[in-house]
Amino acid sequence: MNPHISLLTPKQIDRHYRRTLKVVVVSQAFGGAGLAAGLTVGVLIMEDMLGTEALSGLAVALLTLGAALAAFLVGRVTQKAGRRLALGFGFGSGGVGALGVIASTVVDSPPLFFVSLFLYGAGTATNLQARYAGTDLAPAERKGTAISIAMVATTLGAVAGPNLVEPMGSVAASMALDPLTGPFILGAAAYLIAGIILLAMLRPDPFLLAREIEIQEAQHLDSEAEPTTGLASLGSRRVVLVGALVMIISQIVMVAIMTMTPIHMRAHDHALGAVGLVIGLHIAGMWLPSLVTGLLVDKIGARLTAISSGVVLLISGLIAAFAPNNNLAGLILALVLLGVGWNLGLISGTTLVVQGTAPATRAATQGSIDVWVNIFGAGAGVFSGIMMSAAGFAALSIAGGIMALIIVPTLWLAPRKPIAV
């Protein structure tokens, strides 16, 4: 334990908090560009390799399974060694995976592609885990805003990435590579740079600093203070469970519809540039509203924000289902709303998890929850291809929208007031 931690004033802690956010913002701007590559063209490469759309959802499944394992490892490493090493390792692994995807197309090796896409998923998990770094030193009343600032930074790279599909395709072609690997060239560079920034600049480590501060504060509590009751402990566990369920349902709906959108568009003769535009705006919807969402969570609470997530996801699914197949504007609106609904669910769910966890187990719990978010997302990726092949894109979208409404009754399980931990 660092004896000088006790000398930190609230003003000094706030300064460390703000510096942490600045570093996370810069790294996430690069990380977002890496995130976009796999979402945009991964399913298209898979379809070309396997020659069928029914298994094209396997690309997102592999990516999300890789993200699940990485989320578990990042959470455990964070608990022991801090955010800096854990996030740097995660982004570095994602960069190596992107390079492997490129190599797999050169040698036309589906097994290498599968392994590389699995590894590439580490970057996706790290992008999401970085949102927790902003909360480590944040005041209790600004947790939602802290989460949102970490997430909104991803927008810069995430929006630019899909819209660079065609230019990066030209770069890949000039190097005698498959044009679809262009975004993965960008992704490899972006993830590696993000990892280097975190390793070099995320000092002092916000998680380790916050843990030491909280331990020392606990030691100064009155020994006669009333202990935490079993009821409060139960309430905390329920808050964590509900937060996890909100994130999982949002992830399932978003992944299922988003995964099949490029396949649906290409089947109806939309250009690759149009696919990039739709996915780019979808990712903007996922990340850009974050700053407003965080303020909304802090103002009206995570419960009401989560309910709005279910409603927005339902509307998105209905628009995607009933928009004419050749109507680009309808698809854009549906996918933007799909991203916004996911954003509302993720930030409100994350806030509930932060409210319900104690410092001693917080990072490990956060990582474990993201494991389940990614596992269910992987299942949604596989199932979406099968369902679309059997019933069509409209049926898939309607089913996803209806499923989103599960969020509403789920929230009745959560205490109406945050549990102090």
pLDDT tens by residue, 285-330: 887 888 788 889 888 888 899 999 999 999 999 998 898 888 888 8
Q: How far is 179 from 189, CA to CA, in rounded Å?
A: 17
pLDDT tens for each residue of 353-380: 888 887 777 888 888 898 888 888 878 8
Backbone phi and psi for residue 135, each to the nearest 5 degrees, phi listed first: -90, -15
Residue 223 reports pLDDT greater than 50: no
Average pLDDT over residues 230-244: 71
pLDDT of residue 307: 92
pLDDT of residue 420: 41
12 in Cβ contact with 165 (< 8 Å):
no
Instruction: State the DSSP code for 270.
Output: -
pLDDT tens for each residue of 133-156: 888 888 777 878 888 887 777 777
Q: How far is 163 from 107, CA to CA, in rounded Å?
A: 27
Q: Which of 293, 263, 294 is nearest to 279 (CA)?
A: 263
User: 3 in a domain, yes or no?
Assistant: no
Q: Which of 9, 80, 47, 24 is nearest to 367 (CA)?
A: 80
User: 209 in a domain, yes or no?
Assistant: yes
Q: How far is 297 from 305, CA to CA, in rounded Å?
A: 6
Amino acid at 100: G
**Which CATH number goes with the domain that contains 142?**
1.20.1250.20
DSSP string, 355-396: HH--TTTHHHHHHHHHHHHHHHHHHHHHHHHHHHHHH-HHHH
User: 80 in a domain, yes or no?
Assistant: yes
188 in Cβ contact with 98 (< 8 Å):
yes
User: 222 in a domain, yes or no?
Assistant: no
At residue 146's C-alpha, the angle toward residues 315 and 247, to 5°, is 40
Number of domains forming the structure of the chain: 1
pLDDT of residue 170: 86
pLDDT of residue 88: 94
Work out the percent of the chain whose per-residue pLDDT is above 70.
87
Report the mean per-residue pLDDT for the chain.
82
pLDDT tens for each residue of 36-93: 666 667 777 877 777 766 666 677 677 778 888 888 899 889 988 999 999 999 999 9
Q: Tokens for 11?
A: 């003003």
User: 64 in a domain, yes or no?
Assistant: yes
pLDDT of residue 52: 65
User: 1 in a domain, yes or no?
Assistant: no
Q: How remote is the C-alpha of 161 from its chain's centroid? A: 16
212 in Cβ contact with 360 (< 8 Å):
no
User: 113 in a domain, yes or no?
Assistant: yes
pLDDT of residue 370: 85
pLDDT tens for each residue of 249-282: 999 999 999 888 888 887 877 777 788 788 878 8
pLDDT of residue 146: 81
Residue 8 reports pLDDT greater than 80: no
Alpha helices, DSSP H, located in 301-361: 302-322, 328-356
User: 224 in a domain, yes or no?
Assistant: no
Q: Environment class of residue 218 by beta-carbon count within 10 Å: exposed (0-12), middle (13-18) or buried (19+)?
A: exposed
Average pLDDT over residues 345-349: 92
- Of residues 222 and 178, which shows the higher confidence score? 178
pLDDT of residue 417: 56
Q: Answer left, alpha or beta for residue 178, where phi above 0 means left and psi between -120 and 50 means alpha.
A: beta
pLDDT of residue 3: 47
Residue 29 domain boundaries:
9-215+229-412
Q: What is the pTM of this model?
A: 0.74
pLDDT of residue 419: 46
Q: Which of 401, 372, 379, 305 is nearest to 345 (CA)?
A: 305
Helix axes 362-391, 328-356, angle to 10 degrees: 150
Residue 398 reports pLDDT greater than 60: yes
Residue 132 reports pLDDT greater than 90: no
Helix axes 110-133, 362-391, angle to 10 degrees: 130
pLDDT of residue 227: 46
pLDDT of residue 303: 87
